[in-house]
Protein backbone atom coordinates (compact mmCIF):
# COMPACT_ATOMS: atom_id res chain seq x y z
CA UNK A 1 0.00 0.00 0.00
CA UNK A 2 1.38 3.39 -0.94
CA UNK A 3 -1.07 5.54 1.06
CA UNK A 4 -0.09 5.30 4.71
CA UNK A 5 -2.81 4.45 7.21
CA UNK A 6 -3.80 7.27 9.53
CA UNK A 7 -1.95 6.05 12.65
CA UNK A 8 1.14 5.19 10.59
CA UNK A 9 1.03 8.67 9.01
CA UNK A 10 0.74 10.34 12.43
CA UNK A 11 3.65 8.35 13.86
CA UNK A 12 5.76 9.01 10.78
CA UNK A 13 5.29 12.77 11.21
CA UNK A 14 6.53 12.46 14.80
CA UNK A 15 9.44 10.24 13.76
CA UNK A 16 10.72 12.67 11.12
CA UNK A 17 10.42 15.62 13.54
CA UNK A 18 11.62 14.40 16.95
CA UNK A 19 15.33 13.94 17.58
CA UNK A 20 17.47 12.91 20.55
CA UNK A 21 17.22 15.36 23.45
CA UNK A 22 13.88 16.89 22.46
CA UNK A 23 11.06 17.73 24.86
CA UNK A 24 7.68 16.51 23.57
CA UNK A 25 4.07 16.13 24.75
CA UNK A 26 1.52 13.33 24.64
CA UNK A 27 -1.62 15.38 25.36
CA UNK A 28 -3.91 12.32 25.70
CA UNK A 29 -1.89 9.48 27.22
CA UNK A 30 -4.69 6.87 27.32
CA UNK A 31 -3.07 3.44 27.32
CA UNK A 32 0.33 4.99 26.68
CA UNK A 33 1.04 3.82 23.14
CA UNK A 34 2.08 7.26 21.92
CA UNK A 35 3.95 8.07 25.15
CA UNK A 36 6.07 4.96 24.59
CA UNK A 37 6.55 5.79 20.92
CA UNK A 38 7.75 9.30 21.85
CA UNK A 39 9.95 8.00 24.71
CA UNK A 40 11.81 5.90 22.14
CA UNK A 41 12.33 8.95 19.91
CA UNK A 42 13.62 11.45 22.53
CA UNK A 43 16.46 9.28 23.84
CA UNK A 44 17.93 9.50 27.34
CA UNK A 45 18.57 13.25 27.09
CA UNK A 46 15.02 14.12 26.00
CA UNK A 47 11.72 14.01 27.85
CA UNK A 48 8.05 13.23 27.28
CA UNK A 49 5.29 14.96 29.28
CA UNK A 50 2.11 12.87 29.10
CA UNK A 51 -1.29 14.10 30.31
CA UNK A 52 -4.58 12.36 31.03
CA UNK A 53 -7.57 13.11 33.25
CA UNK A 54 -8.16 9.44 34.12
CA UNK A 55 -6.03 7.68 36.72
CA UNK A 56 -6.63 4.41 34.88
CA UNK A 57 -4.85 5.96 31.88
CA UNK A 58 -1.90 7.38 33.81
CA UNK A 59 -1.38 4.00 35.51
CA UNK A 60 -1.57 2.14 32.18
CA UNK A 61 0.93 4.59 30.67
CA UNK A 62 3.40 4.28 33.56
CA UNK A 63 3.12 0.48 33.40
CA UNK A 64 3.79 0.47 29.65
CA UNK A 65 6.88 2.66 30.13
CA UNK A 66 8.14 0.45 32.97
CA UNK A 67 7.66 -2.73 30.92
CA UNK A 68 9.98 -1.14 28.36
CA UNK A 69 12.44 0.30 30.93
CA UNK A 70 11.75 3.84 29.70
CA UNK A 71 9.97 5.39 32.71
CA UNK A 72 12.91 7.78 33.30
CA UNK A 73 12.21 9.43 29.92
CA UNK A 74 8.65 10.53 30.78
CA UNK A 75 6.59 12.42 33.35
CA UNK A 76 3.00 11.19 33.41
CA UNK A 77 0.63 13.83 34.78
CA UNK A 78 -2.91 13.22 36.06
CA UNK A 79 -4.35 16.53 34.86
CA UNK A 80 -6.08 18.02 31.82
CA UNK A 81 -3.98 19.10 28.85
CA UNK A 82 -5.59 22.54 29.17
CA UNK A 83 -3.22 23.01 32.14
CA UNK A 84 -0.05 22.25 30.17
CA UNK A 85 1.41 25.72 30.81
CA UNK A 86 1.44 24.98 34.57
CA UNK A 87 3.93 22.16 33.98
CA UNK A 88 6.02 23.04 30.92
CA UNK A 89 7.81 26.22 29.93
CA UNK A 90 10.66 24.92 27.74
CA UNK A 91 10.55 24.65 23.93
CA UNK A 92 8.63 21.69 22.53
CA UNK A 93 9.56 19.78 19.35
CA UNK A 94 6.29 17.88 18.94
CA UNK A 95 2.96 16.99 20.50
CA UNK A 96 0.30 14.41 19.80
CA UNK A 97 -3.41 14.31 20.64
CA UNK A 98 -5.79 11.39 20.15
CA UNK A 99 -9.22 12.98 20.44
CA UNK A 100 -12.15 10.95 21.74
CA UNK A 101 -12.53 8.39 24.53
CA UNK A 102 -10.22 5.74 25.94
CA UNK A 103 -11.06 2.37 24.32
CA UNK A 104 -12.29 -0.11 26.93
CA UNK A 105 -13.10 2.65 29.40
CA UNK A 106 -15.95 5.08 30.21
CA UNK A 107 -17.13 6.42 26.82
CA UNK A 108 -18.54 9.51 28.57
CA UNK A 109 -15.02 10.76 29.38
CA UNK A 110 -14.06 12.40 26.11
CA UNK A 111 -11.86 15.23 24.98
CA UNK A 112 -13.85 18.48 24.63
CA UNK A 113 -13.62 21.37 22.15
CA UNK A 114 -12.75 24.17 24.60
CA UNK A 115 -10.08 22.32 26.52
CA UNK A 116 -8.59 20.78 23.37
CA UNK A 117 -8.30 24.23 21.75
CA UNK A 118 -6.87 25.72 24.95
CA UNK A 119 -4.22 22.97 25.01
CA UNK A 120 -3.35 23.48 21.34
CA UNK A 121 -2.97 27.22 21.96
CA UNK A 122 -0.57 26.62 24.87
CA UNK A 123 1.46 24.11 22.85
CA UNK A 124 1.72 26.41 19.81
CA UNK A 125 3.27 29.05 22.10
CA UNK A 126 5.92 26.54 23.26
CA UNK A 127 6.48 24.91 19.85
CA UNK A 128 9.89 25.42 18.19
CA UNK A 129 10.06 26.54 14.57
CA UNK A 130 10.00 23.29 12.59
CA UNK A 131 8.08 21.60 15.39
CA UNK A 132 4.84 19.77 14.77
CA UNK A 133 1.52 19.11 16.53
CA UNK A 134 -0.35 16.00 15.36
CA UNK A 135 -4.02 15.36 16.12
CA UNK A 136 -5.67 12.02 15.41
CA UNK A 137 -9.33 13.00 15.28
CA UNK A 138 -11.85 10.31 16.24
CA UNK A 139 -15.32 11.73 15.59
CA UNK A 140 -17.75 8.78 15.46
CA UNK A 141 -18.86 9.06 19.12
CA UNK A 142 -21.41 11.43 20.65
CA UNK A 143 -19.82 14.87 20.87
CA UNK A 144 -17.10 13.91 18.40
CA UNK A 145 -18.43 15.86 15.45
CA UNK A 146 -18.86 19.05 17.50
CA UNK A 147 -15.27 18.80 18.70
CA UNK A 148 -14.03 18.01 15.18
CA UNK A 149 -15.82 21.04 13.69
CA UNK A 150 -14.70 23.48 16.41
CA UNK A 151 -11.09 22.34 16.23
CA UNK A 152 -11.08 22.59 12.41
CA UNK A 153 -12.66 26.05 12.62
CA UNK A 154 -9.98 27.22 15.06
CA UNK A 155 -7.08 25.71 13.10
CA UNK A 156 -8.33 26.96 9.73
CA UNK A 157 -7.89 30.49 11.03
CA UNK A 158 -4.27 30.17 12.17
CA UNK A 159 -2.15 32.66 10.19
CA UNK A 160 -0.33 30.82 7.39
CA UNK A 161 2.71 33.05 7.82
CA UNK A 162 3.39 31.27 11.11
CA UNK A 163 1.68 27.87 10.81
CA UNK A 164 1.05 25.31 8.08
CA UNK A 165 -2.02 23.19 8.83
CA UNK A 166 -3.02 20.07 6.90
CA UNK A 167 -5.69 17.40 7.04
CA UNK A 168 -4.91 13.80 5.98
CA UNK A 169 -8.08 11.80 5.50
CA UNK A 170 -9.42 8.87 3.51
CA UNK A 171 -12.62 10.00 1.78
CA UNK A 172 -14.19 6.65 0.92
CA UNK A 173 -14.01 4.71 4.20
CA UNK A 174 -17.19 3.90 6.14
CA UNK A 175 -18.11 4.50 9.82
CA UNK A 176 -16.44 7.86 10.55
CA UNK A 177 -12.81 6.71 10.35
CA UNK A 178 -10.27 8.86 12.21
CA UNK A 179 -8.16 11.37 10.32
CA UNK A 180 -5.03 13.39 11.00
CA UNK A 181 -4.55 17.11 11.38
CA UNK A 182 -0.97 18.33 11.52
CA UNK A 183 0.29 21.82 12.38
CA UNK A 184 3.86 22.86 11.65
CA UNK A 185 5.28 26.08 13.05
CA UNK A 186 7.16 27.79 10.23
CA UNK A 187 8.01 31.14 11.82
CA UNK A 188 8.15 32.65 15.31
CA UNK A 189 5.77 35.57 15.92
Q: At CA 23, angle to CA 21 and CA 26, rounded to 5?
A: 135
How many residues touch ligand SAM (CB under 6 A)?
Answer: 21
What single-letter DSSP state applies at residue 31? T
User: Residue 136: phi, psi to the nearest 5?
Assistant: -100, 115
Buried b / exposed e over 15-27, threshold 16 CB at 10 Å, is: eebbeeebbbbbb
Nearer to ligand SAM, 4 or 105 (CB): 105
Site string for ligand SAM, 57-96 (x = CB under 6 A): x----------------------xxx--------------
Closest approach of Cβ 178 to ligand SAM, in Å?
Answer: 9
Which C-beta is closer to ligand SAM: that of 152 or that of 162?
152
What is the smallest separation between the CB atom of 52 and ligand SAM, expressed in angstroms?
4
Q: Which residue, among 107, 94, 189, 113, has the nearest Cα to 154 in the 3D structure? A: 113
Nearest to 14 by CA among 136, 124, 140, 101: 136
Q: Which of 30, 46, 144, 178 binds ligand SAM (CB under 6 A)?
A: 30
Q: Is 111 in the site for ligand SAM (CB under 6 A)?
A: yes
State the residues that interact with ligand SAM by CB under 6 A.
28, 30-34, 51-54, 57, 80-82, 98, 100, 102, 109, 111, 115, 138
Amino acid sequence: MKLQRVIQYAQNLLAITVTNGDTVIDATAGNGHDTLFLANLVGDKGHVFAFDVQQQATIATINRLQENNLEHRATVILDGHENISKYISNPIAAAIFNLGYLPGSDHAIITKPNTTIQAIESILELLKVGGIVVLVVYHGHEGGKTERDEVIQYLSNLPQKYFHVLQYQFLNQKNDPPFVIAIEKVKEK
